Structure 1
Amino acid sequence: MASRGFIELLRLADMARARKNGRQGGQESDWQGIVFEIGGQRLVAPMGEVSEVLTMPEYTSMPLVQPWMLGIANIRGRLLPLTDLSQFLHVPSRLSQMSQRKVIVIDHDSVFSGILVDQVLGIEHFNRSQYRSEAIDSKSPFAPYNHGKFFKDEQDWFVFMPSLLAQDSRYIDAAI
């Protein structure tokens, strides 16, 4: 429970909103994702690809790494490399203070990594009928990690796949 504490809080908040709006809590949807924002772009990552969400932890900087590699944090005895996604993608962050930002933790195959984003907005539920295979603009820095979108509430919810980021050789090789 401790490792998934923030996600559990998001789930409970979502259940409370659902009950307030007349939707039954615990009602299954076809797809759920963690909504986050970076550089003004709202994205949604599949729940299954996010192992937890953290506030910015204390970390130790590392020498001879790319500028987007912030350092290593000790999270419950496990070393978590922290990367600034906005720097990696060359997208300006909208928050100047690191302490205000959130960390999305991915644990995909052999990649255990913390991705620093501007904010995490909660959990969103989608139905299969809302999915579109339309990709984000090919010029977008998020394009290599995009897998279609959901169209809901008259807006596009582009899907960001942390697993695709974890397979990117530029991301994996942070050494200078």
Structure 2
Amino acid sequence: MAKRISLREYQQGVMSRLQSAAAVAQVDARLGVMIGGENWLVDLSDVAEVMPVPAIASVPLGFSWFKGVANIRGNLVSVSDLPAYMGLPNPGFTAASRLVLLQPRHLPHAAVLVNRMLGLKHLADLTVQERAINQPPWVGDVYQDAAGQCWKILNVAELVAQPSFLQTGIA
């Protein structure tokens, strides 16, 4: 006969397994995105939400990489064209493009445009490569997958700390 456990014990067991699985997934998993024509990895803890690109209202006297503001559930969110800010060639934004809302601890009400989502990638499946000299501070470690594709870590905290990223308009 099966062992009987109380509902409380069952719920505690489920919660502990969920917390354990979430902790393992957060350590290793990264969100794969395409920025320009490059593959990037973003820590899941740096992302508040990913959504289709909404209507964006342009802002006068903004830099070309600052697309403007979007109304996200009643909140105005600043939207930056990440490929343009990074100086990467941009094949253009399509229906597959996404708006990545950043965690408010980094920069409240801020989002970046990426060309498309590439799914979750696990660092255990990638090989660390040597970093190039003179990389911008928001470029973290560089990895290579089994197919030979290069993946760069996007350091969101460093990106939003850049005075050039915070200065979105012509003074």
In structure 1, the gaps of 5 or more residues are 1-24
Contact 1:108 1:163 survives alignment (8 Å): no
In 2, the alpha carbon distance for the partners of 1:152 and 1:133 equals 10
In 2, the alpha carbon distance for the partners of 1:71 and 1:158 equals 26
Q: Deviations over 1:55-90 (max 9, x none)?
A: 111121111111111111111122110010111122
TM-score, with normalisation over the residues of structure 2?
A: 0.74
Partner residue in 1 for 2:133: 138
Which residue, 158, 165, 171 being the options, matches 1:171? 165
Contact 1:39 1:92 survives alignment (8 Å): yes
Contact 1:145 1:165 survives alignment (8 Å): yes
TM-superposed CA distance for 1:138, in Å, is 3.5
In 1, the alpha carbon distance for the partners of 2:165 and 2:43 equals 19
Rg larger in structure: 2
Partner amino acid for 2:139?
A: N
The 1:110/1:38 distance shift into structure 2, 3 A limit, reads closer
Partner residue in 1 for 2:56: 59
Give the share of equivalent positions with the same residue, in percent.
21
Contact 1:38 1:118 survives alignment (8 Å): yes
In 2, the alpha carbon distance for the partners of 1:109 and 1:68 equals 22
Partner residue in 2 for 1:15: none
In 2, the alpha carbon distance for the partners of 1:73 and 1:139 equals 34
Residue-pair matches, total: 147
Q: CA RMSD in A?
A: 2.6
TM-superposed CA distance for 1:28, in Å, is 3.6
In 2, the alpha carbon distance for the partners of 1:131 and 1:153 equals 8
Contact 1:108 1:166 survives alignment (8 Å): no
Partner residue in 2 for 1:80: 77
In 2, the alpha carbon distance for the partners of 1:39 and 1:110 equals 23
In structure 2, the gaps of 5 or more residues are 1-20
Partner residue in 1 for 2:142: 149
Query: Is 1:44 equivalent to 2:37 in the alignment?
Result: no
Contact 1:146 1:161 survives alignment (8 Å): yes
TM-score, with normalisation over the residues of structure 1?
A: 0.72
SS in 2 for 1:153: coil
Partner amino acid for 1:145?
A: W
The 1:163/1:110 distance shift into structure 2, 3 A limit, reads closer
In 2, the alpha carbon distance for the partners of 1:131 and 1:168 equals 28
